[in-house]
Copies of this chain bind each other. A is one copy, B any other.
Amino acid sequence: MSLLVEKTASGREYKVKDMTQADFGRLEIELAEVEMPGLMACRTEYGAAQPFKGARITGSLHMTIQTAVLIETLTALGAEVRWCSCNIFSTQDHAAAVIARDSAAVFAWKGETLQEYWWCTERSLDWGPGGGPDLIVDDGGDATMLIHEGVKAEAEYAKSGALPDPSTTDNPEFQIVLTIIRDGLKSNPTKYTKMKDRMVGVSEETTTGVKRLYQMQISGSLLFPAINVNDSVTKSKFDNLYGCRHSLPDGLMRATDVMIAGKVALVAGYGDVGKGCAMSLKQAGARVIVTEIDPICALQALMEGLQVLTLEDALPEADIFVTTTGNKDIIMVDHMRKMKNNAIVCNIGHFDNEIDMLGLETYPGVKRTTIKPQTDRWVFPDTKSGIIILAEGRLMNLGCATGHPSFVMSCSFTNQVIAQLELWKEKGTGKYVNQVYILPKHLDEKVAALHLGKLGARLTKLSKDQSDYISIPIEGPYKPAHYRY
């Protein structure tokens, strides 16, 4: 697509695939609202007070229907919002269209190139002359990373006049990042520094982004406060686990229509995501093999009747391979060559480097046939045997299906709203310094409570006597911080 920003009649910027899908997007948003009681409760509770009045929020998070409901919750609470997706395949174009038309500046479409992806990220951070956003909703940490890299480059430039050199890295994506920063530096040498100065904080959605934040905290390089939303119980133990239990088979079915029953499936990694994946594959009738580095998670898999082996052990018999590790180089091209014909290989964990896509693409003589978008068959010249790669190695549930369903995203996104409210409320109070924080348990419990009514649940209430007996307040929080659920 040509990278020109468009504007709505009201002057709001956007760049999306197809504005005619906005009505369809609105219909799906209306369905989703019924499934997202936490977000709707936030609108009811906080809408009148307009707590985000004056706040500029940039989001870098899969531009789906569920995210649309999040965005419109933020705007209902008074925020101005700019948004991009955090994955080149995860945008739902009708969601992007309706938000662009009705609610916020959006830069996102399904099937971006990496170049386009970073252009969108930059657009969503660019609030014009007055600097960047006040708050960021991040997923995977790309928006945060861009600011941090930008600030670093600007400091070096101010000191030595040196520009970042994209040729210093092998990573093609990071080359793009450095190029963007370099090109920006010339026209505005303090762009990211000003952004950083304005920033009140970021709330981060996912494991990978959180890991980056803690690394920056440890190295002392974190430039603004961060709330780790991922590790709210109502996020990681719901979205990561139950979301993937839902969306993994959904992605497999939409992409390949393959029967899961009777197959042998390998799940690499048995964290929350891996647990959800393994559960759904087992329940669909597959025999599941797990790979793990952590003996505790391995023992959990065994207690569920799953086999724990190495990837090499399972190569001759597995039909479906799913990576969920958050690490790189899990399935290499040499593994793929040894797989059964039409073995399905996909990633639901992290970046596309869980699968050695580079190795596959550059394998001599390999032939790629696109069955349909996000479903490719790659045939090796020596064996004539093919494997099926989903979503080009990127998150298959977002690339091949529609991501996690509304209800579980309502849990995650209610945490986001609460985190953003907290950061904004405490702006300037010094409560949050440049560190990573987890939401207090009573807020986590509140998020859960907002989702019970929809499912017809009725909670039990402690009596005063019981509360005294176990030294737990009647209204909670109910568990010590170290409790694992």
Listed in ascending order, the chain A residues whose CB lies under 8 Å from chain B are 24, 27-28, 31-32, 34-35, 65, 211, 214-215, 231, 233-234, 236-238, 242, 245-246, 249-250, 253-254, 256-264, 272, 280, 282-288, 291-311, 313, 317, 326-329, 341-342, 369, 371-372, 377, 388, 401-402, 404-408, 411, 438, 444-446, 448-449, 451-452, 455-463, 465-466, 469-471, 476, 478-482, 484-485
Contacts and interface: CB of A to CB of B under 8 A. Distances in A.
26 contacts: A27-B371, A28-B371, A35-B259, A238-B303, A253-B254, A258-B407, A260-B405, A261-B302, A261-B407, A262-B407, A264-B456, A283-B283, A283-B284, A293-B461, A293-B478, A294-B478, A297-B485, A300-B485, A302-B452, A308-B455, A308-B459, A313-B458, A327-B462, A327-B469, A329-B466, A482-B482
Nearest to A260: B246
- Residue with the highest number of chain B CB atoms closer than 10 Å, among A260, A294, A341, A481: A294
Contacts of A444: 296
Contacts of A215: 471
Nearest to A328: B469
B237 A484 contact: yes
A460 B311 contact: yes
A462 B458 CA distance: 35
- Residue with the highest number of chain B CB atoms closer than 10 Å, among A238, A256, A261: A261
B262 A455 contact: yes
Copy count, this protein chain = 4
A466 B302 contact: no
A341 B34 CA distance: 8
Nearest to A254: B254
Contact of A451 (B299, B438, B456, B478): B299
Contacts of A249: 249-250
Contacts of A465: 328-329
Given A246-B253, A262-B455, 4 more contacts: A28-B257, A293-B461, A295-B445, A298-B452
A263 B313 contact: no
A310 B262 contact: no
Contacts of A401: 253
Nearest to A24: B372
A388 B30 CA distance: 12
B261 A287 contact: no
A145 to B, nearest CB: 15
A248 B264 CA distance: 22
A245 B462 contact: no
A285 B305 contact: yes
A456 B264 CA distance: 9
B457 A298 contact: yes
Contacts of A449: 295
Contacts of A211: 470-471
Contacts of A258: 31, 35, 405-407
Given A257-B405, A485-B300, A458 B242 contact: no
Nearest to A448: B295
Contact of A257 (B65, B231, B245, B327): B65
Given A401-B253, A448-B296, A307 B283 contact: no
B296 A485 contact: yes
Contacts of A291: 460
A296 B452 CA distance: 9
Contacts of A293: 459-462, 476, 478
A112 B106 CA distance: 38
A258 B408 CA distance: 10
A316 to B, nearest CB: 9
Nearest to A272: B484
B246 A261 contact: yes
A66 B438 CA distance: 40
Nearest to A480: B214
A470 B210 CA distance: 12
Given A300-B237, A449-B295, A259 B405 contact: yes
